Structure 1
Amino acid sequence: MEVYIVTVATGTKAYAGTNNYIYVTLVGENGESERTLLDKHGLDLCRGAEDRYKVVSRTPLGSPLLVRLEKQRYWMEDNWFCRFVTVEPPNGEQLLTFPCYRWFVGDVMVEIREGAAKIQSDDSSALLRAHRRKELEDRQKIYRWMTWAPSIPRCIDAQTESDLPQDERFDNEKRSDFEYALQFALLELSLKKLAISFGKTWDDLEDFKRIFWKLRSPISEYCMAHWKEDCFFGYQCLNGSNPRMIRMCKTLPVNFPVTASMVQSSFPARTNLDKELKAGNIFLLDYVIMDGIPSNTIKGQPQYIAAPLCLLYQHPDHGLMPIAIQLGQIPGLDTPIFLPKDPSLAWLLAKMWVRHSEFQVFQVLSHLLRTHLVVEVFFVATLRQLPAVHPVYKLLAPHQRYTLEINCRGRNQLISADGIFKRVVSTGGDGLLILAQREYKDLTYRSLQPCLDFTDRGVSQLPNYFYREHGLMLWEAIHRFVSGMVSLYYQSDKDVHQDAELQAWIRDVTQEGFAELPNFGLPSELRSKGELSTLLAVIIFISTVQHAASNNGQFDWCAWVPNTPCTMRQPPPTDKDAVTIEEIMATLPDVSQSCVQMAITWHLGRAQPDAIHLGHYTEEHFTEGRAKELIGTFTKDLKEIEDYILSQNEGRELPYLFLLPSRVENSITI
C-alpha cells in the first residue's frame, strides 16, 4: 500500500470555497489510487485554504500523471475554485505540483496534469496523449467562433457576458467594482446636469469648467490650462491616446495644396517648407478613413464628421507644431486651409475638428479594433487548440484574464445599436461599424509590430516621442522573455514546424478569427522559433503595452471636452473669417453629451483596483526552475525600465507615465 500526501489549494477570490463534496483520485502510469472524499467535516476547502490529505493506493501507481478532481452537489450548488494540487509521493520523492486555476461549476470531473510544460511530442504516454485530445475536444464544444458583424475580427460565441464559461467571467470583486464605478460616474453626471439646468447652457468655453468636478486628474487639469497651445496639440500627437497616427511627410498629398508662402511664418529664418520636407521634419495626420462615414443622429439632431488633413513641423525650439489644417479631403473654396496666422477662433476651431476626428479614431480603431478585438482572436484560438500543459497556453494564460468578458460587455453596452456611443458619439451607430470595417480591411500583421511600425511611419527619430521610446523598451524586454521561453521548449525550428497543436492554433487564428483578412500577412503555418517568438511577443505587447497606451490616458485627454470632443453638432466651417465663439459653442458637445464623455472616459480609463501588472504572475502555470528563472529575469528587466521612466520624468510638468510597467496591466480588463 502506498500513501500520498495531497495538498489542495482553494482560491483566494470571493466565494472560491465550497461546501459541496470534493473527491480526489491520483492517476499513475500503473493504475489509480482510491477515490478519496475531501473535507469530511465541512471545515476545509475554504477561501484561501491549503488543506492536506492522505490518499491511499493499494497497488504501486508509478509516477503520478494526473490528478482527478470531482465536485458533487451537497444540498445546494456551491461553486469551487481550485488553484493547484500538490502530491508528495511515498519514500520522499520529489514534490509534484498540478496547476489548476479554474472554477468547478455543477457536478463535474476534471483531470489536471503536473505543471511541467510539454509540447505534444514530449508525451510518450498513451494516457497523456489521450488526455490532451479529450481536453481540446471538450473545450472546442465550449469555446466556439461567432461573427458579431461582417468584416471585423470574429469573436467568442457569447451573446452576453452571462453566456461565457465561469473561468472567463469577472470575479465577484471585479464585477462589483465595475458596476459600482459606472453607477458612481453616471450619478455625478446626473448631478452635474441637474445643477447646470438651473443655470445657463453653454455660452463660453469657460462654461465647461462647471462640469469639472470631482472627476479630474493632474493631466486633465494641465490640459484644461494649455489645450489652446499649438505645442500642446503637437505633444498629444506623439504621446496622447492615439500616438501611432502621425507619419513623416516627404511629399505633400495632391489633395492638400499647402504652398510654401502659406506656412513660411511657421519656420525660422533661412529655411522653408521645401527644405524641411527634404530634411524629414514635416509630418502628417491624414484622417481619410473618416471620409464619407455616416454621422449619428442624437435626440433627433444630426451630428457631423470631418476627414481632416493636418500638417506639422518639428520646430527646433518649440517641438512638434501644427502649421496647416484642411477639414476635408477635397480642396476647394468651401474647404479652406486653416493656418496659425488666421483669426485665433478659426485656428482654434480647426484644431478642435482634428481632435474630434482623433476621438473617433483612437476609440474605435486604435483602442477597440487594434487591441480588444485583435487579441480576442488569439485567445479564442488558444482556448480551442492548445491544452493547458502546452507552453504557449501557459505563456498566454495570464494575458487573457477578463478579456472575453470586457469585450462582450463592450459589444453590448458600448458599441451596440443602442449603446453609449450611439447616445453621444458622432460615429455612433452605423458609422462606427463602417469605420472599423475600413480599418480592418487594411490591417496588417506588420503594423502590429512596433519596431516595424515606427520605421514604416518614418518617426524613429522624432524627439520627445515617449510612447515610442518606452514602447520599444518594453517590446524588447517582452521579446527577450518570450524568445527565452520558446527556446526552452523548442530545441529547433523543426520542433516548431512539427508541433501539430501549434499549427492547428495558427490555422484557427488565420482561417477562422481573421477569415476575412487575406492580406493580413500572418502565415497559416509557423516554421521557425523566430516566427513564433515574434508572434507571441506581438500578442503580449498588444494586450499589455499597446492597450495601456490607448486606454489609460483617455480621461486625461478627454475630460476637458473642448480638447477632444466626442461629437460635433454643426458642420465644419467654410469661411475662416466668419468663425465666432457662438459658432464654436453651437458645434461642441452639449451639456448632456459632455457629461457622458467625462463619465465614460473616467470609467474606462481609471486604474483598476484589482489590476495585475505586467510581469506579475499570481497564477503559477509554469513550475520548472528554468522557466521561473526567465520570469525572474523579465521582472528584473521591467524594474529597470520602471526606474528609468521615473528618473526621466522626475520634475517634468507634464510627465509621461502611461507605460510605466507598474501601470500597465497584464491583460485587457477594461
Structure 2
Amino acid sequence: MFNKIIEKIGGENGTKKLKMGGSQSQKIKGTVVLMKKNVLDFNDFNASFLDRFHELVGKGVSLQLVSAVNGDSQANGLRGKVGEPAYLEDWITRITSLAAGESAFKVNFDYDEEIGVPGAFIIKNNHHSEFYLKTLTLDDVPGHGRIHFICNSWVYPAKHYKYDRVFFTNQTYLPNDTPTPLRYYREQELVNLRGDGKDEELEEWDRVYDYAYYNDLGDPDKGAKYVRPVLGGSVEYPYPRRGRTSRPPTKSDPNSESRLPITSSLNIYVPRDERFGHLKMSDFLAYALKSLAQVIKPALESIDSTPFEFDTFDDVLKLYEGGLDLPDSDLLNDIRKNIPLEMLKEIFRTDGEKLFEFPMPQVIKDNTTAWRTDEEFAREMLAGVNPVIIRRLEEFPPASKLDEKLYGNQNSTITANHIENNLDGVTIDEAIKNNRLFILDHHDILMPYLRRINTTTTKTYASRTILFLKDDGTLKPVVIELSLPHPDGDQFGATSKVYTPSENGVKGSIWHLAKAYVAVNDSGVHQLISHWLNTHAAIEPFVIATNRQLSVLHPIHKLLHPHFRDTMNINAFARQILINAGGVLELTVFPAKYAMEMSSVVYKNWVFTEQALPEDLKKRGIAVEDPNSPHGLRLLIEDYPYAVDGLEIWSAIKKWVEDYCSFYYTSDEMVQKDAELQNWWKELREEGHGDKKNEPWWPKMHTREELIDSCTIIIWVASALHAAVNFGQYPYAGYLPNRPTISRKFMPEEGTPDYAELESNPDKAFLRTITAQLQTILGISLIEILSRHSTDEVYLGQRATPEWTLDHQPIQAFQDFGNTLAKIEERILAMNNDMNLKNRVGPVKMPYTLLFPTSEGGLTGKGIPNSVSI
C-alpha cells in the first residue's frame, strides 16, 4: 500500500515537473552514485521511512551546478554563477538491498548558458539521514562533453551545516591557476575544514581538522594510578600533534581532556570522512578492539595477581592446535556472556567450549624450534618485524651518549676477551675496519627509565648485543651485555653483566635467557618507537595540515590524500583503548605506565629528513654513498632484506613523485609562489610538529627538489615503512617466546632456587621469566587483529578510482609506477628463492615478504597499503 502511494505521488510530481520545465527545454543529464545510510548502518528502518517521507513532501536531495567560467558580480566576489536546483529522481521507488552497495540516481539539470562549463556543484540533503556521496557524472555538457566529480564524502542533512556542501570536478589546479569563479569556493572550503578554533565539542557530522596535544591518555578523575603526563607542547615531553576532539577537560586536571566511557569507546571524534568504511573487515576490527577493551582485558586483569602459566613449550603450541582450556570458569563465562558466539568464533576461532585458538604464526609453521637458533635471532634484526634499529659498530667498546653528570659512566663493559675468540680469526680492529661488527643497542633508550620500570611487575635490563658479519652474509651474535642502574644511585653509572654464546647445559640456558631479555627490549622499542611514534603518530600532523591548507583541487593534495586513509581513525582508537593509561599496551609491553612517556623522550631525536630510507641507512652506518651502485648507495650488509627491498620501493616512489611534481611545477619559483603549499609547510612545522619548529633540518620548501624529497618521505613513512613494521607482527610475534614483550624475573643467580630450576627444567624457567599466559593471550589477540589486511584495502600503486585526475601525463606516470612495483614483486620472489641469500628465508623457512607491494585480505605477512590504515 505504501509503495503504491509513493508511485502515485512520484508520478504526479514527475508530471508537474514536466509542465513547469517544458518538454522543449535543454537538459544536462547526470548520474549520482551514493550509498544510503540504511545500507551502511544495517536495517535503519526509521531513517529509510523518514527519508521517503521527505521525498513525498518535496524535500529531497538537490544539486546546483556552479560555473567555472562565468562569475557573479564584483560585489559578490566574482564567485561562479549557480544554477537552479535539480533533484535526485526515483529515491522513493528505488529500493536498495540491505547488503552494502551503491545506488545510482538520475538527475536532470536545466541547461543555462550563463553557467557554461560547471566546475563545482552544491548539494543540499533535506533528508532525515546522511548518505555517502561517491560521484556525480554529467553526461554531455554542451560545448564540453562529459564531466566527472569524485566526492567520496558523507553528506549530512543540511540543518547540520552552516555552509553549503561543495564538490569540485576532478580537474587539478594550482592556486593561481584556479578559474576566478571557483576561487571563492576553493578558499571557503578550506576555511570550513579548519573550523573556527573554538572549544565547543565537535559532533559526528563535523568536518573540522585541528590540532591538540596528547592530553587524553590519562584519566586523572579515576585516581593517581591513571595520571599520565601531557605529551606535546613542552620541552620535557615533546610530541607530534593529534586531531582535536574538543571534549571538555577532566574535573581534577584542567590540562587533561576527559575520556569517553568504555561503553562508547570507539565513538571518539575524527572528521567524518576519516572514519572507517563499512565493509565487514572494518566492522570486525571495531568489534574486536571493543571486545579486547571491554571484556577480555578487564577479565584478565581481575586475575592478574595470580597469572596462569605455560609450563612447557607444548602448552604454548596448544594456542594454535585446538585452543586453550582455561580453568577459571568465571573468566570463561564472563567472556562468553559479553561476546556473541558468532563474533567469538570470528575473533578467536572457538567452538564455544575452548577459547583462544589462533592461526599458526609463520615463524613456527615449518619448524617449531628453529626460532631459538642464534642465526634466526640475528636474522630477524635484518628481516623481522623491527629491522630498523641495527647499526654498524664504529667504536669498541660501545660508548653511551647519556649525560654522565646524571647517569655516571654508562659505557659498555664488554672487552676484547669476550668476543675475539668468536670472530672467525679476525681481530676487533680488523672487524671494525672491514665493517663486520654491528650492534643492536637498547641501552641509552631504556636506562633512564629502568629504575622506575623495574618497580612494577617488570624485571628487565638495558641491553647491548654485538654481532659479527660472517663470510656467508649472515650475522651471528657474539656477546650480550645486560645492565641495571647502580643500586646506590643513577650518578654511579650502570652495573653490567656480559654473556657469550653457549649451546649446552645451564650456560646454554642462560644464553637463551639473555637473548630473551634483548627480544623483550626490542619488542618494546618496536611497538613504541619504530611502529607507533615513527609511523602512526608522526604522520597524523601531515593528515591534518593537508586537509586544512591544501584544497582538493591542489596537485599535492591529490598526490598525498590516498596515503592518509583511515590514519586518524585508527590513531583515535589507539588513544582510547590501546595506548591510554591502563590500556592494552601498558598491560602487555614491559615499560607499562612509562611507555608513552618514553616514546616522547625518543621523539626529541626525531628528524624529518632522516625518515628517508637512504638517510636512515647512512645514519645507522649500514650503507655508504656510492654513485656506481644502484640507488647511489652500497649496503655494508649485502643481504639485508628490509634495506634491499626498501631501496627498490623507495626509488620507485621517488621516481613517481618526481614525475608527478615536475608536471605541475616547472620551476623552483612556482613552488615558492604557491600560497597553499607554503601555508601547508609552515603549518606542518609550526603546528603539526610544533615542538620541532625551530629545528634547522626542516626543508625550506623553496625548490622542486625539496618538494619531491618531502613528499617521497611522507609516502614512504605512510606506506612502506609502516608495512615493514606492522604486518609482520603476528607472523613473527604471534609466537610469544620468539618475541616476548615482558620479563618478570631477573637472570637467575647461582645458588638460588631460580638457578636450580634453570638447571633442572630450563624451558619452565624460561616461560616463567617471559610474558605470562593471560598477557600472552591478550597481546597476540591484539597483534592478530592489527596484522590483518582489510578486504577493501588499497595498496601502493593503486587508487580507489581510476579517474582521480584529468591530466593524462600524471595518469601515465602512475601506471608506470604500478608497473615498476610489479617488477619489484617479481624480483622479491626470485631473491626469496636464491639459496645464496640466507637472510631472506633463514632457519625458520620464512620468506621475507613484508615489502611485497600487493596482498590479499587477511593475515598474509605481505602487502604495502597506501596508508597507516590499521
* Alignment-mate amino acid for residue 335 of structure 1: S
Q: CA 1:296–1:568 in 2, change beyond 3 Å: closer, same or farther?
A: farther
* Alignment-mate amino acid for residue 545 of structure 2: A
Answering whether residue 130 of structure 2 is matched by residue 79 of structure 1, we say: yes
Cα distance in structure 2, aligned partners of 1:193 and 1:494: 60
Q: Is the 8 A contact 1:293 1:305 kept in 2?
A: no
Cα distance in structure 1, aligned partners of 2:569 and 2:716: 20
Answering whether residue 171 of structure 2 is matched by residue 171 of structure 1, we say: no
SS in 1 for 2:717: helix
Could you give the per-residue CA deviations for residues 112-162 of structure 1, whole angstroms, max 9, x where no partner exists?
22211111011241x311112101110000111100123111110126653
Cα distance in structure 2, aligned partners of 1:562 and 1:596: 14
Partner residue in 1 for 2:32: 8
Partner residue in 1 for 2:335: none
Q: CA 1:240–1:122 in 2, change beyond 3 Å: closer, same or farther?
A: same
Q: Which moves more between the two structures, 370-379 or 455-464?
A: 455-464
The equivalences for 1:362-401 within 5 A come to 362-401=526-565
* Alignment-mate amino acid for residue 179 of structure 1: A
Cα distance in structure 1, aligned partners of 2:687 and 2:141: 48
SS in 1 for 2:137: strand
Partner residue in 1 for 2:213: 147
Partner residue in 2 for 1:129: 183
Match of 2:82 among 20, 25, 32: 32
The equivalences for 1:424-573 within 5 A come to 424-429=588-593, 431-459=594-622, 460-518=635-693, 520-523=695-698, 525-572=700-747
Q: Is the 8 A contact 2:141 2:147 kept in 1?
A: no
Could you give the per-residue CA deviations for residues 521-548 of structure 1, whole angstroms, max 9, x where no partner exists?
5537410111111111111111110001
Stretches of structure 1 lacking an aligned partner (at least 5 in a row): none
Cα distance in structure 2, aligned partners of 1:467 and 1:278: 24
TM-score where L is the length of structure 1: 0.92
Partner residue in 2 for 1:601: 783
Could you give the per-residue CA deviations for residues 11-51 of structure 1, whole angstroms, max 9, x where no partner exists?
59952997562111112233332211112552459542333
Give the count of matched residue pairs: 662
Q: Is the 8 A contact 1:305 1:571 kept in 2?
A: yes
Offset at residue 426 of structure 1 (A): 1.5
Cα distance in structure 2, aligned partners of 1:114 and 1:440: 40
Higher relative contact order (CA 8 A, sep 6+): 1
Q: Which moves more between the two structures, 246-255 or 158-167?
A: 158-167
Cα distance in structure 1, aligned partners of 2:87 and 2:646: 51
Q: Is the 8 A contact 1:446 1:521 kept in 2?
A: no
Stretches of structure 2 lacking an aligned partner (at least 5 in a row): 1-24, 42-47, 55-59, 71-80, 196-207, 215-230, 233-237, 248-265, 322-357, 400-410, 487-492, 623-634, 835-840, 855-862
The equivalences for 1:254-403 within 5 A come to 254=399, 255-269=411-425, 271-287=426-442, 288-293=444-449, 302-317=457-472, 319-328=474-483, 335-341=496-502, 343-403=507-567
Partner residue in 1 for 2:363: 219
Offset at residue 2 of structure 1 (A): 4.5
Offset at residue 224 of structure 1 (A): 3.8
Partner residue in 2 for 1:669: 869
Q: Which moves more between the two structures, 256-265 or 431-440?
A: 256-265
Report the aligned-residue RMSD. Answer: 3.1
Cα distance in structure 1, aligned partners of 2:464 and 2:799: 44
Cα distance in structure 2, aligned partners of 1:629 and 1:608: 28
Cα distance in structure 1, aligned partners of 2:457 and 2:299: 26
Offset at residue 361 of structure 1 (A): 0.4
SS in 2 for 1:212: coil
SS in 1 for 2:684: helix
* Alignment-mate amino acid for residue 370 of structure 1: N
The equivalences for 1:193-208 within 5 A come to 201-208=309-316
Q: CA 1:179–1:99 in 2, change beyond 3 Å: closer, same or farther?
A: closer
Offset at residue 666 of structure 1 (A): 1.2
Partner residue in 1 for 2:625: none
* Alignment-mate amino acid for residue 120 of structure 2: L
Cα distance in structure 2, aligned partners of 1:45 and 1:171: 22
Cα distance in structure 2, aligned partners of 1:185 and 1:421: 11
Q: Is the 8 A contact 1:359 1:564 kept in 2?
A: yes
Cα distance in structure 1, aligned partners of 2:565 and 2:549: 18
Offset at residue 647 of structure 1 (A): 2.2
Q: Which moves more between the two structures, 275-284 or 554-563?
A: 554-563
Could you give the per-residue CA deviations for residues 635-667 of structure 1, whole angstroms, max 9, x where no partner exists?
111111111112222485320011110011111
Cα distance in structure 1, aligned partners of 2:422 and 2:368: 25
Offset at residue 405 of structure 1 (A): 0.6
Match of 1:119 among 145, 166, 174: 174
Q: CA 1:97–1:661 in 2, change beyond 3 Å: closer, same or farther?
A: same
Cα distance in structure 1, aligned partners of 2:709 and 2:472: 38
Q: Is the 8 A contact 2:699 2:706 kept in 1?
A: no
Q: Is the 8 A contact 2:383 2:848 kept in 1?
A: yes
Offset at residue 366 of structure 1 (A): 0.3
SS in 2 for 1:606: coil
Q: CA 1:622–1:407 in 2, change beyond 3 Å: closer, same or farther?
A: same
Offset at residue 206 of structure 1 (A): 4.2
Match of 1:66 among 120, 125, 129: 120
Q: CA 1:32–1:292 in 2, change beyond 3 Å: closer, same or farther?
A: closer
Offset at residue 398 of structure 1 (A): 1.1
Partner residue in 1 for 2:814: 631
Partner residue in 1 for 2:626: none
Cα distance in structure 1, aligned partners of 2:577 and 2:300: 23
Could you give the per-residue CA deviations for residues 245-273 of structure 1, whole angstroms, max 9, x where no partner exists?
0111121214223333322332223x222
Cα distance in structure 1, aligned partners of 2:169 and 2:314: 63
* Alignment-mate amino acid for residue 866 of structure 2: N
Q: CA 1:308–1:26 in 2, change beyond 3 Å: closer, same or farther?
A: same
Offset at residue 277 of structure 1 (A): 1.4
Q: CA 1:502–1:311 in 2, change beyond 3 Å: closer, same or farther?
A: same
Offset at residue 297 of structure 1 (A): 8.1
Max radius of gyration: which structure? 2
Cα distance in structure 1, aligned partners of 2:751 and 2:422: 18
Cα distance in structure 1, aligned partners of 2:746 and 2:790: 38
Q: Which moves more between the two structures, 537-546 or 10-19?
A: 10-19
Could you give the per-residue CA deviations for residues 30-82 of structure 1, whole angstroms, max 9, x where no partner exists?
33322111125524595423333321035432222221111112xxx321111
Offset at residue 215 of structure 1 (A): 2.5
Cα distance in structure 2, aligned partners of 1:138 and 1:121: 20
Q: Is the 8 A contact 2:435 2:636 kept in 1?
A: no
* Alignment-mate amino acid for residue 290 of structure 1: L
SS in 1 for 2:598: helix
Q: CA 1:220–1:136 in 2, change beyond 3 Å: closer, same or farther?
A: farther
Match of 2:154 among 85, 91, 103: 103
* Alignment-mate amino acid for residue 147 of structure 1: Y
Q: Is the 8 A contact 2:364 2:370 kept in 1?
A: no
